[in-house]
Amino acid sequence: MTFRERLRALPTFPPDLPPFGVDLDDLATAPATPQELFGRWFDDALAAGVGAPHAATLSTADAEGRVHARTLVIKDVTDDGWWFAGHASSPKGRDLDANPSAALTVFWRDLGRQVRVTGRAASAGPDAGAADFRARPEGSRAAGLVGHQSEPLGSRDEYWDAFADRLADTRADPAVVAPGWTAWVLAPETVEFWAASDDKGQSRLRYRSTGTTTENDPAWTKELLWP
């Protein structure tokens, strides 16, 4: 069997997929914001026992337009947008400094659901970055203090020695924060909810930002998309 044949023989989704959870024939009844619907879908993923439901793929591009992607964990979802964190000197940090446009993709395969968030990411400020870092588990803080993310590594021993030193630093001073640690918030311009079904094809609902209301709340247009 060729590799193509092996790929095509694989099942894409399990049976008995859940309904979309929104009346797609009456979008006026859909949640007013994409954050609210994301929260509902996230709760469904938790209830279904989906592994790492907070994992997402962040896609960025550098100043020359070269696209990079990596999997990370979402730190929060607020009215401001979707939050994630890391070193300002990391590849994603350098990309976002040169080009703040980004996309975040969440895929819950067991539910046949995907969420795509596109917009512009910005630092939430040093206090938010420090708070995020201090909330990380001890080992994660030590790894963050090691730094040098994505730089060439001479040997694993070199890394483990650096990790052990930074772990000692973390234990000696639990309040220490890695230099340049940043919490970013991706302010959404569009948020698309995609769902497969057992027998009715696919459904796509997009929220598109239209600015703010007179009360200075985010305003959204809800629209169906062809699958």
Flag whether pLDDT at 216 surpasses 70: no
Q: What is the mean pLDDT of residues 204-223?
A: 85
Identify which of 147, 153, 137 has the alpha carbon closest to the alpha carbon of residue 181: 147
Q: In the structure encoding, which two tokens stand for residue 148, read together?
A: 């040098």
- Tell me the one-letter amino acid at 50: V
| Burial degree of 72 (CB within 10 A; 0-12, 13-18, 19+) | middle
Q: In the structure encoding, which two tokens stand for residue 202, read together?
A: 């696919």
The model carries a pTM of 0.93
Q: Report helix angle 138-146 to 126-134, nearest 10.
A: 130
Q: What is the mean pLDDT of residues 76-81?
A: 97
- Residue 197 near residue 203 (C-beta atoms within 8 A): yes
Residue 214 has what DSSP assignment? T
β-strands 101-108, 67-73: how paired? unpaired
Write down the pLDDT at residue 150: 82
What Å distances lie between residue 190 and 92, 130, 147, CA to CA? 21, 29, 33
- Residue 72 near residue 84 (C-beta atoms within 8 A): yes
pLDDT-based confidence at 161, cuts 50/70/90?
confident
Write down the pLDDT at residue 104: 98
Structural element, H or E, at residue 184: strand 181-196
Write down the pLDDT at residue 151: 84
